Amino acid sequence: MNKEITLRLSGDIEKCVPAGTPFFEVVKMLGQSKDTVGVLVNGLEKDLSAMAEEDAKLELLTVDSPEGLEIYRHTSAHVMAQAVKEIFPSTKITIGPVIKDGFYYDYDFERPFTPEDLVLIEKKMKEIIKRRLPISRIELTKEEAIALFKKRDEPYKVELIEDGLTEPITAYQQGDFIDLCRGPHLPSTGKLKAIKLLSTGGAYWRGDEKNKMLQRIYGTSFSSHLALDAHLKKLEEIKKRDHRRLGKDLDLFSTSDQIGAGLILWHPKGAIMRKVIEDFWRDEHLKADYDFVATPHMAKRELWEQSGHLSFYKENMYEGIDVDGIPYQIKPMNCPFHIMIYKSKLRSYRDLPLRWSELGTVYRYERSGALHGLMRVRGFTQDDAHIFCCPDQIEPEILKVLDFTTHVLGTFGFKDYEIYLSTRPEKYVGSLDRWQQATAALESALKQKGIAYEIDPGEGVFYGPKIDMKIKDSLGRSWQCTTIQVDFNLPERFGMTYRGDDGKAHQPIMIHRALLGSIERFFGVLIEHYAGAFPTWLAPVQTKVIPITEHHQEYANLLQKKLRDVGIRSEVDHRNEKMGLKIREAQLQKIPYMLIVGDKEIAEQSVSVRQRSGVNTTVPLDLCITQIKEEIALKRAV
């Protein structure tokens, strides 16, 4: 008889079972078999079919937990791959990971998958689920795994095994389908409830453009149809808010193949919004005791060699150009230029801190497949700043930046954040002591402010740790914007000094800081956050004056002039069209105020106001202008 072992659960619950008992039996004993999809044994994820072998801390994973949902969706990806193989037997399978809100699988198939294919594949998946196929784990030696997948004519699996998988190599089988996987998985395909295939796309094998283009299918799955329906409704809302579509509909920006991918053309309406954002940014920086600098778009290659960018960031930099026999590089960063300004004269401790800001345009290489509207581009403007300070000024400066950040982002309507402290990566420069000192300064500032944060291990930049702030939009999605980085490395590399109160030379500390991240990306986030219906202070056109007939155009022009004279952005719709059409088109353009004028308004020197929200009022002309001015000045979010 097997010896008894003790499994410790949360709440000081203990369960004694014979060694070798499958965890699904343990779950049954605990009355939790309905919702449990896997277990954590001393922190390690395991299948329910695995055996309890020794005393351990046990945690049950339900489909509602992050780990449980990942198991659920990983099984969904395997079911999708099985369905594709059953419908299109010549397909070669590659990889199928879980991603945020779903999963995907890449296939080597002779043509792109069509919407009709997705319907067939989803139907087949539901058939496989109804078969309730048991899912079993297989452990193999490397030799056995290679032989197995060669026999099954799956060359991509063989490549993965040969390229470094260590024994034991694990695979999972359901019916005739077998796939490489670390697991864990659901015990049966029948445990899946609600699935949906979403879209198709292309992807290079292993993300390398030199490799073959594969066909990708995206899908999602949930433990209930109610949860799936809610997710699909959210996806529809995301689709309606897509900044690329709204950017075109609202005539804000575009791209051109003749100019090049990832390079943005700002149309008049987008450009005026950009001006408003940048003017606010500049005004607030002046209030916060920053000075402005401006720097060129390229520099000698030796600058980037000294900064370390050519060693640590070369894959993101464009090839240099030759100027009079001297190699130059287009800038991916602004920081070395600010250092050169610092070094243009002797500095004293009395000068510090120096806070220098710049809306600096930089250029970084992004793979074609990664480019996405305004969110991932190749040329963008950073709202950059660098603070040069003494060591004892680090924490006070970080505290000021945190306050400044919440004020600026809050004005744009973002109040919820996710905060991460990103620590030393594998490739880094500088001493461990310096890294520990910088990390401690950032962490201390967060604690002093009482800000909740998570550690993001290894995600610091090569020259220092950082705080990353992700804003949450109106749909609850997170977007990376603010970053605060402490840097001991660049001041040392460039021999930066200041004269201390002891008369000796000391090395300053450099704090890299961006609030919005980049104007392009932040603009894209704003579009989707507000679904194009911007607050009045940001809207490219704040008022649309609509004369009822051509006889009212003179009064409309007078009204527009008065609005523009006080800084309110206004247009007049002079077209000989019906009123209903004019109003409807102004609403589609998401203009905050439609000001309608006719005989009555001329006689009373008033205006009929139709707000974007649908509220209608008639007010004296001067009062209307005053109220709109006040709303703009307050910068109220929608």
Q: What is the mean pLDDT of residues 330-353?
A: 96
* Residue of 570, 592, 515, 593 whose CA lies nearest to 277: 515
**Residue 249 domain flag:** no
What CATH number does the domain containing 289 carry?
3.30.930.10
More confident residue, 172 or 636: 172
What CATH number does the domain containing 551 carry?
3.40.50.800
Q: What is the pLDDT of residues 238-259, one digit of tens each?
A: 999 999 999 999 999 999 999 9
Instruction: State yes or no: cis peptide before 353, omega within 30 of 0.
Output: yes
Considering the domain architecture, whether residues 54 and 71 belong to the same structural domain is answered as no
Considering the domain architecture, whether residues 483 and 614 belong to the same structural domain is answered as no
* Contact present, 546 and 595 (Cβ < 8 Å): yes
Q: Where does residue 279 rank: exposed (0-12), middle (13-18), buried (19+ CB within 10 A)?
A: exposed
* Contact present, 35 and 84 (Cβ < 8 Å): no
**Residue 524 domain flag:** yes
What CATH number does the domain containing 29 carry?
3.10.20.30
pLDDT of residue 1: 52
Give percent of the chain above pLDDT 70: 100
Name the helix (H) or strand (E) containing 609: strand 606-611
pLDDT of residue 546: 95
Question: Could you tell me which residues come within 8 angstroms of residue 83 by beta carbon, excluding any fewer than 6 positions away?
Answer: 121, 122, 124, 125, 127, 128
Residue 405 phi, psi dihedral angles, 5° rounding: -60, -50
Q: What is the mean pLDDT of residues 205-233?
A: 93
Strands 44-46 and 13-18: unpaired
Name the helix (H) or strand (E) containing 467: strand 466-472
Considering the domain architecture, whether residues 451 and 582 belong to the same structural domain is answered as no
pLDDT of residue 381: 96
Q: Where does residue 512 rank: exposed (0-12), middle (13-18), buried (19+ CB within 10 A)?
A: buried
Q: Token digits for 22? A: 């499958």
Q: What is the mean pLDDT of residues 317-325?
A: 89
**Residue 109 domain flag:** yes
Considering the domain architecture, whether residues 71 and 197 belong to the same structural domain is answered as yes
Considering the domain architecture, whether residues 41 and 15 belong to the same structural domain is answered as yes
Q: Which of 482, 497, 530 is the last residue of a domain?
A: 530
pLDDT of residue 437: 84
* Residue of 270, 479, 274, 262 whose CA lies nearest to 373: 262
Give 296's pLDDT tier (boundaries 50, 70, 90): very high
Distance set, CA 205 to CA 105, 169, 210, 248 (Å):
11, 21, 9, 32
pTM to 2 decimal places: 0.85
* Residue of 37, 39, 65 whose CA lies nearest to 186: 37
Give 438's pLDDT tier (boundaries 50, 70, 90): confident
* HEC secondary structure over 210-262: CCCEEEEEEEEEECCHHHHHHHHHHHHHHHHHCHHHHHHHCCCEECCCCCCCC
Q: Is the pLDDT of residue 286 over 70?
A: yes
What value does the mean pLDDT of the chain take? 92
Instruction: State yes or no: cis peptide before 66, omega within 30 of 0.
Output: no
pLDDT of residue 255: 94
What CATH number does the domain containing 118 carry?
3.30.980.10
Considering the domain architecture, whether residues 187 and 295 belong to the same structural domain is answered as no
Q: Which of 530, 555, 589 is the last residue of a domain?
A: 530
Considering the domain architecture, whether residues 502 and 462 belong to the same structural domain is answered as yes
Considering the domain architecture, whether residues 574 and 475 belong to the same structural domain is answered as no
Q: Is the pLDDT of residue 221 over 70?
A: yes
* Residue of 517, 512, 403, 423 whose CA lies nearest to 471: 517
Q: What is the mean pLDDT of residues 425-448?
A: 86
Tell me which amino acid residue 617 is: T
Q: What is the mean pLDDT of residues 194-201?
A: 95
pLDDT of residue 115: 94
Give 638's pLDDT tier (boundaries 50, 70, 90): low
Q: Is the pLDDT of residue 314 over 90?
A: no
Give 12's pLDDT tier (boundaries 50, 70, 90): confident
Q: Is the pLDDT of residue 29 over 90?
A: no
Residues designated as active site = 335, 364, 382, 384, 386, 466, 512
Considering the domain architecture, whether residues 283 and 383 belong to the same structural domain is answered as yes
**Residue 245 domain flag:** no
Q: Token digits for 78? A: 């395997």
Considering the domain architecture, whether residues 219 and 285 belong to the same structural domain is answered as no
Domain count, the chain: 4
Give 231's pLDDT tier (boundaries 50, 70, 90): very high
Question: Could you tell me which residues come within 8 angstroms of residue 627 by beta carbon, excluding any fewer than 6 positions away?
Answer: 619
**Residue 594 domain flag:** yes
**Residue 253 domain flag:** no
pLDDT of residue 71: 95
Q: Is the pLDDT of residue 410 over 70?
A: yes
Give 22's pLDDT tier (boundaries 50, 70, 90): confident
Q: Which of 530, 558, 576 is the last residue of a domain?
A: 530
Q: What is the mean pLDDT of residues 174-193?
A: 94
Give 53's pLDDT tier (boundaries 50, 70, 90): confident
DSSP symbol at 635: T
pLDDT of residue 370: 82
In angstroms, rounded to a whole number, what is the distance separating the alpha carbons of residues 561 and 457?
A: 57
More confident residue, 435 or 610: 610
Considering the domain architecture, whether residues 583 and 619 belong to the same structural domain is answered as yes
**Residue 173 domain flag:** yes
pLDDT of residue 144: 94
* Residue of 612, 527, 448 whose CA lies nearest to 270: 527
Q: Which domain holds residue 213?
A: 67-238
Rounded to an integer, what is the distance from CA 461 to the centroid of its chain?
17
Give 28's pLDDT tier (boundaries 50, 70, 90): confident
Length of the chain: 638
Considering the domain architecture, whether residues 428 and 554 belong to the same structural domain is answered as no
**Residue 244 domain flag:** no
Give 21's pLDDT tier (boundaries 50, 70, 90): confident
Other beta carbons within 10 Å of 190: 15
